[in-house]
Each structure stands twice: as structure tokens, then as C-alpha cells.
Amino acid sequence: MQRVVLLFGGASSEHSISCATASGVLSAIDRTKYEVIPVGITRAGQFVPAVDDVNHWTLTEGELPEVHFTGESIIWPTRGNRELKHSKADGSTHSLGEIDVVFPVLHGPNGEDGTMQGFLELLDLPYVGNGVFASAAGIDKEFSKALFIAAGLPVTPHVVIHKEQWLSDPETVLENVKHLGALPLFVKPARAGSSVGVSKVKEMTEFAKALEVAFNEDSKVTVEKGLVGREVECAVLSSRGGGAPKVSVAGEIVVKTREFYDFEAKYRDGEAAKLICPAELSPEQLAEMQALARRAFNALGCFGLARADFFLTKDGFFVNELNLMPGFTPISMYPKCWQASGVSYPDLIDELIQLAFERN
């Protein structure tokens, strides 16, 4: 039986979403094939042993799960050694066995952005998902969009604003934003996810406040033109043996009660949006979307998994972003798209783990 360290939590504003993703994986991973060791990361960055309890980490109404330090910690192996240890509050330690693979389900900075991937590379431990460069590029909306444009992909019109630029020369910033055309605009932290810090600007009187909210998460933001169209997504998965990435059928997000698909709609308000999978697309539209998703995946040098997010407008598809560690709860779009494509949730987890072994 292979030993999998499920790594979640993290020092980011998406801490609780990572816990919920871990809950999904804990519920679905094949326990006849894998021994799971849950390891949490507190908001302060401490590695701690975590309970193997699906319900403990599930998002519930009015309460978000959190990893806490209780005096016990995890000691990682040094390079060339794979033995994971548990340090108790009294200072004693005991072995948790040798690690076969790490499954990081971390969202946002200090986890999804290449930092944890670099840490695991230094320890020479196989891990699930994208490598250092793709992770760093994928979480940064400025550089991912630049790579998409370089690959000839249609990208949402946008400008990038640094905090110091806004404070020192707001007139130039506003002039650049004007070139995006008519409102609405979406103001987003450049290196955050789960719609944390995102605002929809319908009047320019709201713009300064939207920047303030975004700058609370990041010193760099992207301002994107609000496109009129459908929000559609598909899931991408590497192929073993170096073949072309596989792409699922499409899913669609239909927002019902909120201005856009924000944090509350994603995680707190079950009535705010409807996730439809498979989405109603013509065979030609689906083929085009899948081809664009493959190109975007390759443009960032991805490996393992990604969710490709698009706007489908009267002018065709626009790439919004790639999410390199998408939500992984049973109702999240990434596993839903694969289930609609004939791949079960446990089989998807198994395939991701086996891809990690192949890369290593």
C-alpha cells in the first residue's frame, strides 16, 4: 500500500477552501490502495498532524474549517530520506513511515504558487500537480495572461496596476483603464484565487474602493473588461507517457442571485449559482474550447491538472485563466467535468497520484 501525505490549509486567505478540498479527497481516495497521512499547515505556516475526518474539514453554514497548532508538529525528512515524523507536545517523536507521494491541495499564495512545490523538490519527494514554474506563472494573472498572448490565445482585455503606481500616479492609471472601454470592470488581486478580494465595478465612483479591497490581498491587481457572455470551464489532465493532455467536456456557471461568481456564491450560498455539466455547446464549440484549453495548459508548461476558465461571447472564446489547483470537493467543477466525461472521482485521484510517480 502506498503512503500519501495529503497536505492542506496554508498561510493564505484561501486556507479554509484548501481544508474543504482536503475533505473531498479524504472522502474519495481509494483506501485499499493508499494509506493517507493528513498534514495541515496553520495560517502561521506550521506543519501539524491533522485528523483523518471528512466532516471535520467540510465547509458548513456559517463556519469555515481551520488548521490549528496544538503543540504537536510534523518533521519532514531530509533529502535522501523519506521518513516523516510526528513530534508530540512533550518533545518525543515517532515515525509515521516513509512517504511515497505528497498530494498538496493548497490554494493561493505560499502553497499553490510554486513555494511548496520548490520545498518538495528540495526534499526529492514525488508530488501531485504542477511544478515550480507553472505554479508560479499560473497564480499570477499578469504573467499567465502574457504567456497566453505569446501563444496566440484570445485573452480577456486587461491592464495591470501596481500599488505604488496607483499611489504615485493615479491619473495615468485611470487613463489606461479607460482604454478597456465601457463598464463594468472586474478588479482582481493578481495573485489570489477563490474570488477573494475581487470586485465588480459598475460605476467609476466604485473603482478606488475596489482597488483598496484588492490591494488588501496583493500589491498588484489586474483590471479586466467585463465581457458579456457565458462562463464555461473544462478540466485538463496530463496523459501518461507524454501524450497530449486530455480535456473533459465543458461545464457552465450560471449565476442566479449575485452580481458575479464571488466567494459567497462559490462556497457559502448554495442558491447563488448553478453548475451545469455538461454544458450545452455545439460539437464545434466544444472541440474549439478543448483545443484552446490544451494550448493554454502547454503555454504555462503545466503538468498534472488544471481547470481552464473561458468566456464565450458573440466574438468567440476568451481565456480567463487557468486554475492549477482547482477546488476538489465532490461538487466542484473539476471533478464534476471528469465525472461527466466518464472518469469517477476516486479514479481521478488515482490517476493524479500515478502521474506524480511517472514524473518522478
Closest CA to 309 of 328, 284, 331, 334: 334
DSSP 140-155: -HHHHHHHHHHTT--B
Cα Rg of the chain, angstroms: 20
CA atoms within 13 A on the CB side of 142: 12
Please tell me the distance from the alpha carbon of residue 81 to that of residue 260, in angstroms, as a whole number: 48
Task: State how far the Cα of 199 lies from the Cα of 24, in Å rounded to an integer.
Answer: 28
Q: Which amino acid is at 346?
A: P
Q: How many residues does the chain have?
A: 360
Q: What is the pLDDT along the chain (360 residues), one digit of tens a residue?
A: 999 999 999 998 889 989 999 999 999 999 999 999 999 999 999 999 999 999 999 987 667 899 999 999 999 999 889 999 999 999 899 999 999 999 999 998 899 999 999 999 999 999 999 999 999 999 999 999 999 999 999 999 999 999 999 999 999 999 999 999 999 999 999 987 656 789 999 999 999 999 999 999 899 999 999 999 999 999 999 999 889 999 999 999 887 655 555 455 455 445 656 889 999 999 999 999 999 999 999 999 999 999 999 999 999 999 999 999 998 877 789 999 999 999 999 999 999 999 999 987
Q: Which pLDDT value is given to residue 331?
A: 77
3-state secondary structure of 29: coil
Give CA–CA dist 159/187, Å, rounded: 10
- Buried b or exposed e, range 140-169, using 16+ CB within 10 angstroms: bbbbbbebbeeeebbbbebbbbbeeebeee
Q: Determine the Cα–Cα distance for residues 84 and 147; give it in Å rounded to an integer.
A: 38
Residue type, 14: E
Provide the residue type at 151 as one letter.
Answer: A
Which cell is 30 given? Answer: 481509494
Q: How far is residue 50's CA from residue 6's CA, in Å, rounded to a whole number? A: 10
Q: Amino acid identity of 30?
A: D
Alpha-carbon distance 358 to 234, whole Å?
A: 24
Longest alpha-carbon distance in the chain: 64
Distance CA 75, CA 48 (A): 9
Instruction: Beginning with the edge strand found earlier in the chain, give each strand of the sheet holding 305-313 in spatial order.
Output: 273-276, 246-255, 230-237, 305-313, 316-323
Q: What is the model's pLDDT at position 192?
A: 76
What confidence score (pLDDT) does residue 56 get?
Answer: 94
Q: Which domains does the chain carry?
A: 2-127 (3.40.50.20), 137-154+229-359 (3.30.470.20), 158-225 (3.30.1490.20)
Three-state secondary-structure class, residue 24: helix
Q: What is the per-residue pLDDT for 275?
A: 84
Q: Tell me which residue of 210, 59, 220, 47 sits closest to 139, measured CA to CA.
A: 220
Q: What three-state secondary structure class fits 234? A: strand
Identify the pLDDT of residue 328.
83
Neighbours of 289 (CB within 10 A): 24
Residues facing residue 2 across a β-bridge: 34
Phi-psi category of 355—alpha, beta or left, where left has phi over 0 and alpha has psi -120 to 50? alpha
Question: Rounded to whole angstroms, how far apart are CA atoms 142 and 130?
Answer: 19
DSSP letters spanning 175-219:
HHHHTT-SSPEEEEETT--TTTT-EEESSGGGHHHHHHHHHTT-S
